[in-house]
Amino acid sequence: MAKRRERITRSPDPDAPSPLHGVADGVLFEISSEVCNQVGGIYQVLRSKASLITARWPNRYWLVGPYMEQKASVEFEPSRPPRWLGRVLESLESEGIRIHHGRWLIAGNPRVLLIERAVQWQEIDKLKFELWSEHSIESPGGDRLVDEAIVFGDSVRRFLTRVCEMRSASAGDQAIDDPSEEPSHGAQRRIIAHFHEWLGGLAIPMIRKAKLPVATVFTTHATLLGRYMASSEEGFYDRLWSIDNAAEAGKYNIKGIHGYERACAHGSHVFTTVSPITGEECGALLGRVPDLFTPNGLNVSLNNVGHEFQTLHATYKEAIHRFVMGYFFPSYAFDLDRTIYMFTSGRFEPKNKGFDLCLEALARLNAQIKEFDLGLNVVFFIVTQRQTRTIDPESLRLRGVLNELDNVCNSILEGVGKRMFPLAASGQRANLDALVDPYWSLRYRRMQQAFRRNGLPPVVSHHVEGDWSDPVLSHIRHLGLCNRPDDPVKIVYHPEFISPTSPLWGMDYDQFVRGTHLGVFPSAYEPWGYTPLECMAAGTPAITSDLAGFGGYVADRHPDHDAWGMTVLKRRGRGFHEAAADLARWMLAYCRLDRRGRIAMRNAVESKSWDFDWSRLGSAYHRAHDLALERLARESGELR
């Protein structure tokens, strides 16, 4: 067992030279269901590394995704394809497959192909039967997500078939030319197709069955079986190699999707994943050890604001102060200058994302701050996406009252200033109360009276569907974290992602992150984890875990990580309460820092963010593409 794990932690050198010069004579298609379609973390991967890939593949790189009209209208700009590609698209339109060609309106401005295809259920059933008869993969019925993935995969397969036919038919002429459409000697360009997740990768077994001359790369960012098991069972990684993956997939009713993932992994020329810990998971559950790791970076320059990041922290902290005043002050007030803002965020997987561990640690932190009489408060935000009915009406009302109170105060200041100036100029003593217009004095008192709440501030900002069965709310109630005035730790469970359109916020999530003091992400299952990396880019210290791919990467390559503001909590092989005690200790250590210490840590973590830029991490993608071309060439006898 030790040897098997040893193999998984190794990865080919991403900078090793390839015997083929794929960039010079290749064309790259990168396929994902999240192209111009924000759903999860893969969207961030594609979006942030687009500049890196387009720089290496100028005029020979296309992202391929499904056409979602509403989202495409915002992120996609149509444009004319090059002649060779136009002929491919025309031939497919006659088969009922319409492919929109254009640019993704992001940094790097990459070319994209968005596939639109409407099919009848009989055709979907035919495709499912082919997956069963040719690849022994079961497909569940009545699952829209599965049906869409199968249709998309077949459409990609047909597209690549046409591209290969175009290349073959035009071998002596002009085929996959540079879109400048000038004559080229590189007519027979090699074709690389890089697929992300089973939702985008179902074309892989189809391509292999058709024996298309396409070099394929498959990147899995997680396994569905691993995600399900980690959220339901303790000690998932400790018993990884003893798991009967087929039996467990049946238990969780995901045999079809598990089969898709295995087929994509085994069918690709190069199989990659984002981290060694997910590599272990793939080896055990999918039956193939990844060829190399493609860690996720960020385009740090897009987040970098130079020396302004400390100023922006103060600016956005004021916006958080305003939220806290509207949320807590109607019940009771506390010193905002002695308040630390911490948060966790992510998709609603409370156990996998470590929300449960955060709450357990916060209960301990609450007692410790009291015990040591630190004289400060911690407001902890849990930001996720949950089915809700509405924002809590009372919280919404009070935010409106706060805004009106602000307007009243500004009007009073303006009026007093105008009346006070001539008195001051003439040397007279001013009676400030007498200078306030009676109308505004009355409005002021009325607003103060309206800005009151009977009872404690709620722990949740919205009315949640299934309130009493919500695991986060149940855990909060169990721990007694109910926002009492004498509790230094306050909780705001915010089951909606923060956005400028929210009447409670009026700010972007990125701005919220910059305004906080500490991000806390002690995940139990996290193949990579962008949230702590996003904190780094914003100059916000963070806590991650050794069960997160990012946490493992940091621990392996940066032994001094604690010193510059990225704590890696040890969770592997440890009990829940032991990890909670450790997390509380780290959070308390941060609370003990003075203002100068917090500023120094923000400086340190922001400067380290450049180590995670795509310019540093992107070479793994280059190696994956070169390796796929090399294996295709050996397979076809071009290389021996």
* pLDDT tens sequence across 57-115: 998 999 999 999 999 999 999 999 999 999 999 999 999 999 999 999 999 999 999 99
Question: Binning pLDDT at 50, 70 and 90, where does residue 4 land?
Answer: very low
Query: Which DSSP string do the residues of 233-283 spell out, in sequence order?
Result: STTTGGGGGG--HHHHHHHTT-HHHHHHHHHHHHHSSEEEES-HHHHHHHH
**310-318: long-range contacts (C-beta < 8 A, 24 or more apart)?**
310/539, 310/599, 310/602, 310/603, 312/511, 312/514, 313/514, 313/515, 313/539, 313/540, 313/602, 315/515, 316/507, 316/511, 316/512, 316/514, 316/515, 317/341, 317/515, 317/516, 318/515
What is the pLDDT, as a whole number, of residue 638? 76
Q: Is 321 a residue whose pLDDT tops 50?
A: yes
What is the Cα–Cα distance from 378 to 381, expressed in whole angstroms? 10
Write down the residue that tokens 């004021």 correspond to: 318
What is the pLDDT, as a whole number, of residue 433? 87
Write down the residue that tokens 């630190």 correspond to: 374
What is the Cα–Cα distance from 369 to 490, expressed in whole angstroms? 12
Whole-Å CA distances, 444 to 328, 415, 526: 19, 13, 50
Spacing of C-alpha 215 from chain mean position: 28
pTM confidence score:
0.91
Q: Is 178 a residue whose pLDDT tops 60?
A: no
What is the Cα–Cα distance from 379 to 374, expressed in whole angstroms? 15
Write down the residue that tokens 């591209």 correspond to: 163
- How buried is 608 (Cβ within 10 angstroms: 0-12 exposed, 13-18 middle, 19+ buried)? middle
Q: Are the C-beta atoms of 272 and 622 separated by less than 8 Å? A: no
What is the pLDDT, as a whole number, of residue 188? 55
Spacing of C-alpha 294 from chain mean position: 16
Q: Are the C-beta atoms of 68 and 37 separated by less than 8 Å? A: yes
Closest CA to 26 of 62, 72, 50, 67: 62
What is the pLDDT, as a whole number, of residue 170? 54
What is the pLDDT, as a whole number, of residue 17? 47
Each residue of 414-448: b (16+ CB within 10 Å) or e? eebeeeeeeeeeeeeeeeeeeebeeebeebbeebe
What is the pLDDT, as a whole number, of residue 481? 97
Evaluated on CA atoms 368, 370, 371, 375, the torsion sign reads positive
3-state helix, strand, coil in the chain (%, to 5): 50, 15, 35
Q: Are the C-beta atoms of 519 and 540 separated by less than 8 Å? A: yes
Beta bridge partners of 72: none
Q: Taking CA 168 as the corner, what is the angle to CA 166 and CA 170, rounded to the nearest 5 degrees?
A: 65
Q: Is 5 a residue whose pLDDT tops 90?
A: no
Q: Is 174 a residue whose pLDDT tops 90?
A: no
Mean predicted lDDT score pLDDT of the chain: 91
Beta bridge partners of 232: none
Q: Are the C-beta atoms of 113 and 105 separated by less than 8 Å? A: no
> Per-residue pLDDT tens for 330-347?
999 999 999 999 999 999
Q: What percent of the chain has pLDDT over 90?
A: 84
Question: Binning pLDDT at 50, 70 and 90, where does residue 303 land?
Answer: confident
Please compute the mean of the pLDDT values over residues 617-625 and round it to a whole number. Answer: 96
Please compute the mean of the pLDDT values over residues 562-583 and round it to a whole number. Answer: 96
> Per-residue pLDDT tens for 125-160?
999 999 999 989 889 988 999 999 999 999 999 999
Structure token digits, residue 37:
């379609």
Residue-level length of the chain = 640
Please compute the mean of the pLDDT values over residues 237-262 and round it to a whole number. Answer: 95
Question: Binning pLDDT at 50, 70 and 90, where does residue 306 land?
Answer: confident
Q: Among 98-102, 171-175, 318-322, 436-440, where is mean pLDDT lowest?
A: 171-175
Strands 566-569 and 542-545: parallel
Q: Are the C-beta atoms of 226 and 523 separated by less than 8 Å? A: no
Residue 155's identity, in one-letter code, is: S
Higher pLDDT, 408 or 177: 408
Strands 111-117 and 97-104: antiparallel
What is the pLDDT, as a whole number, of residue 586? 97
Spacing of C-alpha 509 from chain mean position: 12
What is the pLDDT, as a whole number, of residue 141? 87
Q: Is 455 a residue whose pLDDT tops 70?
A: yes
> Per-residue pLDDT tens for 474-494?
999 999 999 999 999 999 999
What is the pLDDT, as a whole number, of residue 302? 81
Q: What percent of the chain has pLDDT over 70?
A: 92
What is the Cα–Cα distance from 197 to 220, expressed in whole angstroms? 5
What is the Cα–Cα distance from 509 to 494, expressed in whole angstroms? 12
What is the pLDDT, as a whole number, of residue 168? 65
What is the pLDDT, as a whole number, of residue 640? 62
Question: Binning pLDDT at 50, 70 and 90, where does residue 11 land?
Answer: very low
Q: Is 20 a residue whose pLDDT tops 90?
A: no
Q: Is 315 a residue whose pLDDT tops 70?
A: yes
- How buried is 334 (Cβ within 10 angstroms: 0-12 exposed, 13-18 middle, 19+ buried)? middle
Each residue of 237-256: b (16+ CB within 10 Å) or e? beebeebebeebbeeeebbb
What is the pLDDT, as a whole number, of residue 630? 95
What is the pLDDT, as a whole number, of residue 445? 95
- 384-390-392-395 Cα dihedral, nearest 10 degrees: 90
